[in-house]
Amino acid sequence: MILKRLLTAPALYAVAGALLAAGLLLAFLYAPTDTSSMGFSQKIFYYHAPIAECALLAFGIAFVAAILYLRSNDPKYDVLGMVAIRLGLLFSLLVMATGMIWGRAAWGVWWAWEPRLTTFLIVCLLYTAYFVLRQTVEEESRRATFAALFAIIAFVDVPITFFATRFMPAGLHPVVFGRGGGMPGSDLLAFFVSMIGMTLLLIAMLRQELAVEHLKEDLYHLKNRIGA
């Protein structure tokens, strides 16, 4: 019972807000200022990277939901996939905004056609097309099936985007983890606190949006009954 209360959207929002605030304080007060040309501007990384990870995570959730829908034909998975992609696009817009600020400070340009940025832009365009597809098919079952198939195909570009800096190291984006990359402990602490907070924020928004969609469905059925 206690665990169920802790996993409600309001509780998750509260914990996420606390962690994001803590991450912000750690980034500005504890993590050292970058010694490169970015200097103080580098601190946007502690929000930019978690937002990007959560955008890709949302698309991953939609990918799993699409597979589950095709196996079961359960409408709840269609709704989950739609909501996850909607949130993924929202986070993607924030990624683009913070990324442009990062690019201006790091490379002197607002946009560069390098591997990570280009593949991420393709991801955004693909998932935008997902909603165009949903609008063009009227019959619910066919719409859900086509949308699930499209979500699976679109997801192919997500791991390419994630590993772009490793597949094509000539790009401008640095490798944060793994060979050729790394952060000192103070940076890692600020990053992981922000990462956990951003992930919980995504989960809270996902739960809230699902609840809203269920209310819409209940209202739709109620109107049909009244009309009948």
pLDDT digits (tens, 9 = 90+) for 146-200: 999 999 999 998 888 777 555 555 555 555 555 545 555 567 888 889 999 999 9
Between residues 153 and 31, the one the model is more confident about: 153
Helix (H, G, I), strand (E, B) or coil at 9: helix
Assess contact for 198 and 99: CB atoms under 8 A: no
pLDDT of res. 3: 42
The pLDDT assigned to 118 comes to 81
Q: How far is CA 97 from CA 63, 75, 134, 217, 228, in A?
A: 25, 34, 27, 34, 48
CATH architecture group of domain 10-227: Up-down Bundle (1.20)
Residue scoring higher pLDDT (172 or 204): 204
Q: Give the span between the Cα atoms of 222 and 207, in whole angstroms.
A: 23
Total residue length of the chain: 228
pLDDT of residue 216: 82
How far, in whole angstroms, is CA 66 from its chain's centroid? 17
Q: Which of 32, 20, 148 is nearest to 84 (CA)?
A: 148
Q: What is the pLDDT of residue 22?
A: 92
Report pLDDT for 2: 43
Give Cα separations from 26 to 10, 46, 47, 117, 192 (angstroms). Answer: 24, 9, 12, 27, 10
Q: Of 37, 22, 45, which Cα lies nearest the Cα of 183?
A: 45
pLDDT value at 133 more than 90: yes
Q: What percent of the chain stands above pLDDT 70?
A: 79
Least Cα distance to 28 among 10, 17, 40 occurs for: 40
- Mean pLDDT, residues 90-97 taken together: 91
